[in-house]
Amino acid sequence: MNLILSGLIFTPLLAALVVLLMPTRLQKPMKVTALLGTLVQMALSVLLYLRFDGSAPANGHTGYQFVEKLDWISFSLGSLGRFQIEYFVGVDGVSISMVLLTGIVGVIGVISSWTINKNVKGYFLLYLLLVTSVMGCFLALDFFLFYLFFEFMLLPMYFLIGIWGGPKREYAAIKFFIYTLVGSLLILIVMIGLYTSVIDPQATAWQMNLIGQGIPADANVIRQVQQMLQQGVISNADIVRTFSIPAMMEPANFIPGSLLHVLSGVSLFDLPIRFVAFLLVFAGFLIKVPSVPVHTWLPDAHVEAPTPISVLLAAVLLKVGGYGLIRIVYPVFPDAGAYFATLVGGLGVLSIIYGALCALAMNDLKKLIAYSSVSHMGFVLLGLASLTAEGVNGAIYMMFSHGIISAMLFLVVGVIYDRAHDRMILNFRGLAKRMPAYTAFVVIAFFASLGLPGFSGFIAELLVLLGSFGAPEATGMLPRWLAIVAVFGILLAAAYYLWALQRMFFGKYWIFPELREKASISDLDRREYLMLVPLAILALLFGIFPHLLLDKVSIAVSGFTELVLLNGQEQLNMVLSTIIP
């Protein structure tokens, strides 16, 4: 069995254990250990990326590569059959980009943390735990495992913001914790509903003695089990319920009579219960994305978090939200996904415009970038809602590209904050005179983020807009005006970035008098180059050669859109037929 995925998840955990066992005064070796841990993880993620076969067929519930599947928890529910949780990890075109991103940003974060000198042991311990759980989230294919990693991100983050953060850190930390916990509780409700409704055909076949224990079932046996299930001839005691996400994507695996079965006919608040479930789990991930109106935790968390944690938060943690929508919400509830496409796309466009307007109004450079994140994540929602191949490819591309670019943006904010202990836009003028190299990177980062052709952000926005423009004809999903409004978001992005650039960096050099005593305005040092140069290269590389990423992603995306569109329409008709007489 290939253990590369476990290696990816547990390397930082191993490093965390080493850090834990080190005596407190060995600060430098701890940093080196953390760096080594994340470097190995990055090497593994690059290796995985290169070895991943992007041309292999994938259709949503199959086509996972490097799969590892082990029994974890399994117990009998008496007359209600069995229930099983597996250690089930795998990678497909959707997750491969996120894995690569996490690997890269993990290392950048450690380099950026080099100047941390307050309680170093605790810091790197939490940092490594955080990286472990993010990676676990992107690789888990068992809902329980996913949820475990998803929830486990909260705690390290709470402490990283709460202990090492800025002046209002306690408020920001608790706000972050409560918001995301409420989100994950909404997901929990649906997770419970799903696992009590879904069987694992493979394990059920073993339980029924259709095939010998441990012998993998072929497609015929699986189909036979599914048919028997739908006919209701499998006795309760033989049913094996599962948390497996791929199993949840097949309507044939739902137990007839269970609430989330397409034909259950149960409705709540005049909506079919599957739609309610979709809305709950969608809201749960929406908080993480974050989208307007549940985004307010993000600016607070970003402003108070130390630079490396902001980098990690913007670059990878937010991606878990969008990833969850693609991995779980849409494939499991394609009917509701099709039904609510306008809502999803509308929230996306609202985030794009509202986030951009807020960014325009900000005086704090870090808050400006935080709101620009909200705006960019809106494109992910819009692309996804279109359900066209271009749109979904664009959504994934946006997540990847935003990961690279937002890491850069928060790093450049960190640079000025380290020097002046302040980051108010109006307190600085003409920085380009004193910090030319720094200004160059700021310009690169800003232009990459506002979608200048040649940078990865451009490809992402282009794909999303193409997808959503074409959606009315291709999939019949979104009204055209949504895409048109979204374009204004790009204009606004240009406005807030260029305005900030003009105010802070151009003109005669001046900084606010009270800052002058403490500030030592010097240009970038070697450590900062080490972080910014690779990110800038990546942003350019993926902007000029988009196929580097799309080759790995697009087959899985086509599988995804086909699954969601075909199953979605079919299931939508079934669901509606049971509700409307």
Partner 1 sequence: MEEQAAQLTQAIDSIISGAGTLLPEFLLAGFFLLLVTLDLFKSKTIKRLLPWLALTGLFSALILQVIGPPASEGVQFLNLLRSDGLARYASILFSVAGISTILLSLQNRKIEKRRQGEGRGEYYALLLMLVLGLNLMAKSVNLLMVFLAIEVVSIASYILTLTLKEEKRAVEAGLKYVLYGTLSAGVMLYGMSFFYGLTGSLDYTLVSFWQSLLDANTLMVTLAAILVFAGFFFKISAAPFHFWAPDVYQGAPMPVVALFSTGPKMAGIIVILRFVAAFGDPSIAASFGDIQLFLGVAALATLAVGNLTALWQRTPRRLMAFSSVSHAGFLLMGLMAFGTNYTSSILFYMTVLLFMNFGLFLFLQMAEEEWQVKKLEDFQGLGKQAPFAGIMALLYLLSLTGLPPLAGFMGKLLVFSSVWEAYTLSGQPLLLVLLVGGILLTGVALFYYIKIPYYLFLKRNQTEENLVISLSNKLLLVFFGLPLLVLFFKPDLLLHWIEKLLA
| Site residues, partner 1 (CB under 8 A) | 72-80, 119, 147-148, 151-152, 154-155, 158-159, 162-163, 169-170, 173-174, 177-178, 181-182, 185, 188-189, 192-193, 195-197, 257-259, 266, 268
**Looking at beta carbons only, is 151 or 570 nearer to partner 1?**
151
**Looking at beta carbons only, is 229 or 478 nearer to partner 1?**
229
**What proportions of the chain, in percent to the nearest 5, are helix, strand and coil?**
70, 5, 20
**Looking at beta carbons only, is 266 or 494 nearer to partner 1?**
266
**120-139 vs 4-21: helix axis angle to the nearest 10?**
170
**Looking at beta carbons only, is 138 or 177 nearer to partner 1?**
177
Closest distance of CB 349 from partner 1, Å: 29
C-alpha 382/C-alpha 342 separation (Å) is: 9
Please give the distance of CA 301 from its chain centroid, rounded to a whole number.
17
Can you list the pairs that 164-169 forms with residues at least 24 positions away whose Cβ atoms lie under 8 Å?
A: 164/116, 164/118, 164/119, 164/123, 164/305, 164/306, 164/309, 165/304, 165/305, 165/306, 165/309, 166/303, 166/304, 166/305, 166/306, 167/304, 168/300, 168/303, 168/304, 169/304, 169/305
What is the secondary structure of 334-363 as a DSSP string?
HHHHHHTHHHHHHHHHHHHHHHHHHHHH-S
Closest distance of CB 488 from partner 1, Å: 36
Taking CA atoms, 160 is separated from 88, 129, 155, 517, in Å, by 29, 11, 9, 29
Q: Which amino acid is at 280?
A: L
Closest distance of CB 83 from partner 1, Å: 8
**Looking at beta carbons only, is 276 or 358 nearer to partner 1?**
276
Closest distance of CB 257 from partner 1, Å: 7
Burial 45-57 (b: 16+ CB within 10 A, else e): beebbeebebeee
Which residue's entry shows tokens 């809902």? 143
Burial 364-373 (b: 16+ CB within 10 A, else e): bbbbbbbbbb
Pairing of strands 240-242, 82-91: parallel
Closest distance of CB 490 from partner 1, Å: 37
Pairing of strands 267-268, 240-242: unpaired
**Looking at beta carbons only, is 74 or 573 nearer to partner 1?**
74
Closest distance of CB 223 from partner 1, Å: 25
CA nearest to 11, candidates 131, 152, 139, 137:
131
**Looking at beta carbons only, is 77 or 548 nearer to partner 1?**
77
Closest distance of CB 379 from partner 1, Å: 29
**Looking at beta carbons only, is 259 or 350 nearer to partner 1?**
259
Compute how many other C-beta atoms are within 10 angstroms of the C-beta atom of residue 547: 11
**Looking at beta carbons only, is 247 or 387 nearer to partner 1?**
247
Pairing of strands 510-511, 428-429: antiparallel
C-alpha 474/C-alpha 75 separation (Å) is: 46
C-alpha 463/C-alpha 468 separation (Å) is: 9
**Looking at beta carbons only, is 126 or 501 nearer to partner 1?**
126
Closest distance of CB 492 from partner 1, Å: 34
Asked if residue 244 lies in contact with residue 200, where contact means CB atoms within 8 angstroms, the answer is yes
CA nearest to 61, candidates 247, 225, 205, 219:
247
C-alpha 448/C-alpha 446 separation (Å) is: 5
Q: Which secondary-structure segment (H or E) carries 86?
A: strand 82-91
Closest distance of CB 189 from partner 1, Å: 5
**Looking at beta carbons only, is 175 or 302 nearer to partner 1?**
175
Closest distance of CB 162 from partner 1, Å: 4
**Looking at beta carbons only, is 145 or 463 nearer to partner 1?**
145
